[in-house]
Structure 1
Amino acid sequence: MHTNLFNIVLISFFLTIGCGNLYSQEIKNKKKPLPAVKQTDKEVAKTTDTIKLDTVRPKKTFLDGKVKYKAKDYAKIDQKNKLITLYNEAELYYKDVELKSGIIILNYEKDEVYAGRIKDSAGVLVQYPNFKQGSSEVQPDSIRFNFKTKKALIYNSRTEQGEFKIKAAVTKKENDSVYFLRGARFTTSTDVDHPEYYFQTSKVKFIPGKKVITGVTNMVIADVPTPLALPFAYFPMSQEKSVSGIIIPSYNDSNTRGFSLQNGGYYFALSDHYDLTVLGDYYTNGSYAMRFESSYATRYKYRGNVNIRFENLISSERGYPDYSKQNIYNIQWSHSKDTKSNPNSTFSASVNMGSSKYFKQSINQANIGSNLNNTLSSSISYNKTFNTIPGSRISLSATHQQNTQTEDIIMTLPSLQGSIDRIYPFAGKDGVKKGIIKNINLQYNVSGKNEFKTKDSLFFKPQMFKDAQIGMQHTIPLSTNFKVFKYFSASASTTYQETWVNKTIKKEYDASTGKAEPTPVDGFDSFRTYNFSTNLGTTIYGTFNFGEDKKIQSIRHVMRPSITYAYTPSFERYYDTYAVDASGRITSEYTRFENGLFGQPGKDNSNVVGFSLSNTFEAKVRDKDSTKTEPKKIMLLNNLNFSTSYNFNADGKTTFGWQPVLVSGGTQFFDNKMNMNFGATLDPYAIDNGGNKLNKFNIDNGGSLFRMTSANVTVNYSFSSKGDGSKEKNNQSQRNGGRSDDLFGTNTDLNDTRNSQFANEPEKEDVITEFFNSKIPFDMTLAYSLTYSNINRENKISNNSLMISINTDITPKWKGGVSTGYDFVQKGVTFTQFRFERDLLSWRMAFNWQPLGTNSNWNFFIGIKSGMLSDIKWNKRSVSNR
């Protein structure tokens, strides 16, 4: 009976709440009913017109949506006070509101809900409320929320907005988009209750996903208030991927340029596909710098970035003897096209051009690898493939080569390459190409250039374009290949070339100078050449078996000998003579195509036979893993090559028959972590006491069969405790023209917190124990180079140097690295860099130091890791006097 009564009451409650209608007033029935009176149709109509509708609308119930709730201990319903009480691990779901807490009290008459903590058996408050509405989530001590007005009162709330974590003593929720906070703190620390730093403020207006506006704000570090305070503060909190904003500069000083503000500017988030960063430096002596950096990308189409840098450098003060002023610049552009967008065409760019002294004199570049590099290069190319029969393709490119030492620049604008695929005119209808006749094929290649040779100071000035050389070369190779005696592969080819140029030269004796200076001649001219070559080669396999019970079971030796004959006739008809002196009796020959874009025709015929032999050595060894039945293959020598040639037209005075024997080879050790390459030059001819080569073999002059004139060995070794031996490339250094490794130091921009070595490491609960129970993480790169010279019996080591770079985790929070080297010939330490980095949880600290040489400098940085607060930093660096 008790159970039935409870069920009846419960069902009645839900029927009343879910289906019943509530009115603002009750209309009680009269004790005496009104008597029935007959009325005519007119009276009925009149009565109906005078009746007024009830203007009191029924009150809308609270539960206009589906409510779900549950609790571990009990769910109590108080119909008299209109309350639902949920206790212990209580949960309430209504529309977009999710509420979890120790206790939840729902007042469905006032449309309010209260949530708070409960005490455990030890009297400790547990089960903090978790209030979630839409994308906003709050974890307070207690909360009151009105479903109708959307207002809330929250005590000791904890919430996250992007990278910010916010804790406030009292929070008032005005509506879905505005909060007012009192006694609040903001931090990017992972622990909002015990952060290593935070911003303390008394009054806050908070708009989720958009912005935070505060009153007087004070920065607190390690619970100690600092003098850093602002009368008000504004923090953007957009949910967009990127927003525009000011980039705060850093302060520095220099002995030669005074005080400065560096790396200040503005970031423009122009669209989802491209952006723009404008940065600038200013020194009190008048020096300044501007940098424009932009990245762009369209998915499945292309991506790239552009960097433009300009610096106006002033040293000392006007009127002083060491005063100087100069402008330097650098332009970098990288572009790549997704091959899926159009498989038949590609466009790419890799540009690095500008002042030759930019990386050596820049006041905002600490890139030693780029400083030591002597070349800058660029390439922009477009390639198009045509699906014709036969297939054809065309390539347009612009190239740039710059020597930063001599300041010479060679640029092609544009360069044309075109080709038509091989044609087999004698192949059968079935397409089978077998035999000397059916394998005959020909091609057509065309190459064109518009080339400029100039100096750094004349780059893109009128004189540069005035000295341009234009040319085109057409090439038609005709070749075939066939088998000889079953085991030999033979090939024969002839090539016809026609070269067109727009500039030639003419030489005449000039009495005023006493020399025959070349005079440029403008106008179209051309020359034609051809040659013939043939090749015969084979492959020989040799296996040496030692037995399956041996550790080394067998060694396999593969030899590929080949012999090549090449003949090029003399094109003496393209040569003229000029007078060497005033008498005209002494003349010399020259070609008007001298120093042309595609070379010049040869005066003497070439009749050369070449010999080469390549070798590889591979071994089969028993695997250390006894469960494996198959032996393991190990490469002993990747290659061991010998090559030489004999010139039938050698005169024995200036030219000799046999050319030096070139030896080269390479191998790998330690699971391909160490690469070793070596080479040597062996000359069969003897020399006299003056170092002049004699037309006499060295063995006939009392020496050995060959005279070693040079030799070199290079060793590169990379090792990591992680076992893969790989590490991230120094991409920016490589882009600037330096090395991709860190043998010349890192190219880290200390203003960019994303370059932190700790950036991608997950947080660990017990890093100390894990650190000392495992191998210390480290990586090492080593490069050794040795060169021997003996051309004129000097018998010396011309180069002997060792370079090494090591990076390691000194402690779980400290990382360190060093790059250094030693020159055994000069007996001195080469480039050296020390680098340290400290993980300060929400902060990062880094220090780089190059103590030696003209590029000596140091750089110290400390700042907040969060990109939202990346402007809160301190960067101090030394500025060289270069």
Structure 2
Amino acid sequence: MTCQKTSHNFTKIAFKPLHTNLFNIVLISFFLTIGCGNLYSQEIKNSKKTLPAVKQTDKPAISITDTIKLDTVKPKKTFLDGKVKYIAKDYAKIDQKKKLITLYNEAELYYKDVELKSGIIVLDYEKDEVYAGRIKDSAGVLSQYPNFKQGGSEVQPDSIRFNFKTKKALIYNSRTEQGEFKIKAAVTKKENDSVYFLKGARFTTSTDVDNPEYYFQTNKVKFIPGKKVIVGLTNMVIADVPTPIALPFAYFPMSEEKSVSGIIIPSYNDSNTRGFSLQNMGYYFALSDNYDLTVLGDYYTNGSYAMRFESAYAKRYKYRGNINIRFENQITSERGYPDYQKGNIYNIQWSHSKDTKSNPNSTFSASVNMGSSKYFKQSINQVNIGSTLNNTLNSSISYSKTFNTVPQARISISATHNQNTQTEDIVMTLPTLQGSIDRIYPFVGKDGVKKGFIKNINLQYNLSGKNEITTKDSLFFKPQMFSDAKLGMQHTIPISTNFKVLRYLSVTTGTNYTETWVNKTIEKGYDSSKNAVVDQTISGFDSYRSYNFSTSMSTTIYGTFNFGADKKIQSIRHVLKPNISYAYTPSFERYYNTYIIDAAGTFSPTLYSRFDNGLFGSPPGKSNSNIVGFSLNNTFEAKVRDSDSTKTEPKKIMLLNSLNIQTSYNFDADGVQTLAWQPLALSGGTQFFDNKMNVNFGATLDPYALDSGNNIINKFNIDNGGSLFRLTSANLTMNYSFSNKGTKETNTQSQRNGGRNDDLFGTNTDLNDTRHSQFAEEPEGKEDAISEFFNSKIPWDMTMAYSLTYTNFKRESKITGNSIMVSINMDITPKWKGGVSTGYDFVQKGVTFTQFRFERDLLSWRMAFNWSPLGVNSNWNFFIGIKSGVLSDIKWNKRSTSNR
């Protein structure tokens, strides 16, 4: 029997039972193939081994097909395991034979979580690999760098090869960002989704990773995105010049969280009085998303040390705040030397605010600034001239609650602290209780209309209670501070009403009843052993009651002076608000006593009350008080023709914001201790230069004359050969603040300590963190506002304050105060900033506090110099370091070695 071809065997034997349906099967297969939208082909090589001849029999042919093994043909390989999307500007070429898809010019490929954009992309779906690289433009320059993004990681290399199955990649000249770090590596091997190995890598926080002003060069890197970077031998390079700064290995945290715990590396310094030191060493604890903690410390070789604890906390829609606790153990010189000194100083600051959305009916707030009176003057880690010149420290912690009753009631509990840093006196209230009930209108009708004398009658109730402690700085937080505590409570019930008279006159009248409770009173007596009058404290409950009556009448008068629409000044408007008031307080003589002033038993005409020095003061007085007060408030406004000819409406300008005159007359004045007329007080204010300059002035005019001893007498000055009034005092203040850079930053730390909120006393220098600019930061995106060396508009700002005081109470007629303070900041060049704060006292004839500030923007670095050359607070400070917070420990800080 002759041999048959393999194809003949398939045709005659295998397909013989399907002969009748062959056409239909082929037709259906053709349409199914067209519907798939993808075409796959496979070449089947002829097998050299031929199949043996099969002998035909009369048995059914179908049984013979079972002897043929269908799995001898390998199944087609599945193309990846996900949907692939791709586009290209020029073309997308598919090579079925080589299993390649080529995308050219602005090519993009998307597969699962992988996004790839490049000039050219080649996809090998046989090997499940993709290659991306650059292409040349018409000028022969390589462009369209690959951009490879997978999950949260993004790489911008020169070229990349990536395997979809193994997730491994080989990347050349990759550029990526992780937090504040920018990383460039010659070769990068992606091991899996979370581990990269880099060769020839550089790390920097510079904006331009290709031409950075500094970087860290290393050859071996293990990089875990979002977590950490571990490197081998690392060398710091500045301006492409290797430095001696090198580490055998290094670890960089790369957490994607907002804050990461870590060590704060100290800075080195030396002092003539304290020796060598390590400053600001510590640890930052990122405790949670709601609060953190920074612990810092200083150590000096002579034994001085300092500790600081700083914490910020916040909860959205609930509250936010911060706490700073500072302690310094200061030792000057060495033990045994005559200038040896030792002492402790501390400062506690706490700020807390509650979001009103959390509970509209209750509030809790805290503003605490307490500690040693000499802290800001002697601190070795805080230079705050504004706080140094301030004489008070204040604190307040309060809680209030509103009760939605009818009438509405409120209650608040607070603790306050007031400290004089000069006298070191401290006054605290622990606590202060305030309560009130809203006004009640007992005679209002059912319609609720409050109109007329009767229906407008209203009353309310106020309660005030205090537990006051007065002590010294040295006794603060010690048991002795509570020995002289005073306790008191005051109840007040005001009753008032208001109504109209003759349509234009508004009248307000009322009476006030006050009852005061105290736990301590005094008794004055003569002490023969001391030969002086002394106060004896008497403990026990005591009280007094007082009341008064008052009424006032006011109106508003408008006057307009028109000059014509064709004039520059078209009209002037004058608004007058006259007010006349009357207050009567009866005598409370029963609460007053006299005392003996010498051993002979002579009685003094001087009165005293046993309630003197009480929390709420003494009763109103022994004699009646019948006082009529007069005041007149004036406002002047003008309409002027606008300089812009396109505008038809005149422009309104304020000539005088206020011009106030007030005085009073006492009908019950005795003419000896009290005079009938009070001095005439004159005050006013206005603004110039588009409200940038504020001018305020004031004067006091006394109608009474002086005798030959310059003592005031009950005789009018005009009757004594003088003028109608004597000018006893006058003052003038001007504040001028303007800038072409927008709003200036305020010195919040100085303001918090009770000082100025501007920089007329210099800027605050916190030596814990000198990375921040001394000047107002440019808004984001405006850093390159100056693009030339001398731009036509150089950014600058200026603040000026002038004060003049005149005194003539006893014919001294002299200028007691005359000084000017100026602060100027300017962008000298696009990268240089400079500033100066200074002043001059014309009375003392000397320069006041002076500070010079300079700063250089070194792109990723910042260099600053701060110098105060004059006075007891003279100091200087130099800093250069990296701006980035992740590398904030790379810095050099040097400052003056004064006795601070």
Tell me if TM exceeds 0.5: yes
Report the Cα distance in structure 1 between the residues aligned to 2:607 and 2:783, rounded to whole angstroms.
83
> Aligned residue for 2:884?
866
- Over 3 Å counting, the alpha-carbon distance change for 1:504 and 1:756 in structure 2 is closer
Q: 1:610 aligns with which of 607, 629, 639?
A: 629
More displaced, 76-85 or 381-390? Answer: 76-85
Q: Secondary structure at the match of 2:878?
A: strand
Counterpart of 2:112 in structure 1 is 95
Q: Using the TM superposition, give the Cα deviation of residue 824 of structure 1 relative to its aligned residue in structure 2, in angstroms.
A: 0.6
Contact 1:855 1:880 in 2 (8 A): no
Counterpart in 1 of 2:690?
671
Do the aligned partners of residues 771 and 443 (structure 1) sit closer, same or farther apart at CA in structure 2, a change above 3 Å counting?
farther
TM-score by length of 2: 0.91
Choose which of 715, 729, 751 in structure 2 pairs with 1:696. Answer: 715
1 CA distance for matches of 2:785 and 2:250?
Answer: 36
2:191 aligned residue: 174
Q: Does 1:659 align with 2:681?
A: no
Once structures 1 and 2 are overlaid, which stretch shifts more, 308-317 or 379-388? 379-388
What corresponds to 1:635 in structure 2?
654
Matched with 1:187 is 204
* CA positional deviation for 1:409: 0.8
Q: After superposition, where does 1:242-641 map in structure 2 within 5 Å?
A: 242-586=259-603, 589-601=607-619, 602-641=621-660
Structure 1 pair 110–645 and aligned structure 2 pair: CA distance change class (3 A): same
Whether contact under 8 Å (1:199, 1:217) holds in the other structure is yes
User: Given residue 806 of structure 2, which amino acid in structure 1 is its aligned partner?
Assistant: Y
Contact 2:594-2:603 within 8 A present in 1 as well: no
The 8 Å contact of residues 40 and 96 in structure 2, kept in 1 or not, is answered as no
- Structure 1 residue 763, shift from structure 2 partner: 6.4
Amino acid at match of 1:792: K
- Could you say what secondary structure the match of 1:578 adopts? coil
Task: Name which of 811, 816, 833 aligns with 1:815.
Answer: 833
d(CA) in 2 for partners of 1:560, 1:419: 32
| CA shift digits 1:550-569 (9 cap, x unpaired) | 11111111111122111111
What is the rounded CA distance, in whole Å, between the counterparts of 2:503 and 2:412 in structure 1? 40
1:857 to 872, 875, 880: 875
2:894 paired residue number: 876
Quote the offset at 1:424 in angstroms.
1.3
Distance verdict in 2 for CA 1:351–1:55, change over 3 Å: farther
Mean Cα deviation higher: 770-779 or 835-844 = 770-779
What displacement does 1:515 show?
2.4
What is the aligned length?
861
Letter matched to residue 716 of structure 1? N
Aligned-residue offset at 1:55: 13
Amino acid of the structure 1 residue aligned with 2:646: T
Identify which of 634, 649, 665 aligns with 1:646.
665
Amino acid at match of 2:249: F
Counterpart of 1:700 in 2: which secondary structure? helix
Question: Do 1:748 and 1:755's aligned partners in 2 also have CA atoms closer than 8 Å?
Answer: no
- Distance in 1, matches of 2:591 and 2:154, equals 86
1:151 lines up with 2:205 in the alignment:
no
Distance 1:872 1:30, change over 3 A: farther
Q: Distance in 2 between matches of 1:667 and 1:230?
A: 64
Per-residue CA shift, 1:215-273, capped at 9, x if unaligned?
A: 00000001110000000000101111111111111111111011111111111111111
Cα deviation for residue 179 of structure 1 reads: 0.5
User: Could you report, residue by residue, the CA deviation over 1:477-499 in whole angstroms, capped at 9, with x for unpaired residues?
Assistant: 11122222332222221111100
Determine the C-alpha separation between the residues in 2 that align with 1:600 and 1:860: 56
Aligned partners of 1:823 and 1:830 also within 8 Å: yes
The answer (yes or no) to whether the contact 1:613–1:641 under 8 Å persists in 2 is yes
Residue 54 of structure 2 corresponds to: 32
In terms of mean alpha carbon deviation, does 507-516 or 208-217 score higher? 507-516
How many percent of aligned residue pairs carry the same amino acid? 80
Query: Which stretch of the first structure deviates more once superposed, 451-460 or 627-636?
Result: 627-636
Residue 830 (structure 1) aligns with: 848
Deviation at 1:737, TM superposition (A): 2.5
Is 1:845 the counterpart of 2:863 in the alignment?
Answer: yes
CA 1:473–1:131 in structure 2 vs 1: closer, same or farther (change >3 Å)?
same
Letter in 1 for 2:168: K
What is the CA–CA distance in structure 2 between the aligned matches of 1:224 and 1:334, rounded to whole Å? Answer: 47
Report SS of the residue matched to 1:579.
Answer: coil
Distance in structure 1 (CA, Å) of the matches to 2:755 and 2:848? 16
Q: Quote how far apart the aligned CAs of 1:165 are.
A: 1.2
1:177–1:430 Cα change, 3 Å: same
CA contact (8 A) 1:730 1:746 kept: yes
Alignment of 1:31-110 (within 5 A): 32=54, 61-110=78-127
Question: Structure 1 pair 771/576, CA: closer, same or farther in 2 (3 Å)?
Answer: same
Q: Structure 2 CA distance, aligned partners of 1:659 and 1:637?
A: 25
Alignment partners' CA distance in 1, 2:149 and 2:450? 75
Q: Distance in 2 between matches of 1:273 and 1:280?
A: 24
Secondary structure at 1:753's aligned position in 2? coil
The answer on whether the counterparts of 2:744 and 2:776 sit within 8 Å (CA) in structure 1 is no
Is the contact between residue 394 and residue 753 of structure 2 (CA under 8 Å) also seen in structure 1?
Answer: no
Q: Give the distance between the partners of 1:672 and 1:227, measured in 2 at CA.
A: 56
Separation in structure 2 between the aligned mates of residue 304 and residue 273 of structure 1, nearest angstrom:
11
Cα gap change, 1:109 to 1:591, in 2 (>3 Å): same
- Residues 771-803 of structure 1 show CA distances to partners (whole Å, capped at 9, x for unaligned) of 644311111111000000001111100000000
Hey, what's the Cα distance between the residues in 2 that align with 1:176 and 1:767?
41
Question: Do the aligned partners of 1:863 and 1:872 also contact (CA within 8 Å) in 2?
Answer: yes
Which ranges of 4 or more aligned residues in structure 1 deviate by more than 4 Å? 7-14, 25-31, 33-38, 51-60, 756-771
**Residues 34 and 374 from structure 1, CA distance in 2 versus in 1: closer, same or farther, beyond 3 angstroms?**
farther
Unaligned ranges ≥5, structure 1: 1-6, 39-47
CA contact (8 A) 1:756 1:844 kept: no
Structure 1 residues 26 and 784, CA gap change in structure 2 (3 angstroms): farther
CA distance in 2, matches of 1:634, 1:16: 82
Q: 1:141 to 1:512 in 2, by over 3 A?
A: same
Give the partner amino acid of 1:79.
Q
Distance 1:12 1:518, change over 3 A: closer
Instruction: Report the AA paired with residue 781 of structure 1.
Output: T
Aligned letter for 1:32?
Answer: V
1:793-804 correspondence to structure 2 within 5 Å: 793-804=811-822
Greater mean deviation of Cα atoms: 89-98 or 774-783: 89-98
In structure 2, how many angstroms separate the alpha carbons of the residues matched to 1:81 and 1:752?
62
**8 Å contact kept, 1:363–1:879:** no
| Structure-1 separation of matches of 2:797 and 2:583 | 50
Instruction: State the 1:592 CA deviation.
Output: 1.4
Q: Which residue of 2 aligns with 1:708?
A: 727
Change (3 A) 1:346 1:403: same
The alpha carbon displacement at 1:404 in A equals 0.3
Is the contact between residue 445 and residue 474 of structure 1 (CA under 8 Å) also seen in structure 2?
yes
**Partner AA of 1:696 in structure 2:** K
Residue of structure 1 equivalent to 2:231: 214
* Alignment partner, residue 196 of structure 1: 213
Between 348-357 and 119-128, the greater mean CA deviation after superposition: 119-128
Q: What amino acid does structure 2 have at the position aligned with 1:654? A: Q
In structure 1, C-alpha distance between the alignment counterparts of 2:728 and 2:241, rounded to whole Å: 72
Correspondence 1:133 to 2:150? yes
Question: Deviations 1:711-740 (Å, cap 9, x if unpaired)?
Answer: 000001111124x5x311111221132211
The one-letter amino acid of 2:431's match is P
| RMSD (Å), alpha carbons | 2.8
| CA displacement at 1:403 relative to structure 2 | 0.5
Q: Deviations over 1:682-705 (max 9, x none)?
A: 011111232111211111111110
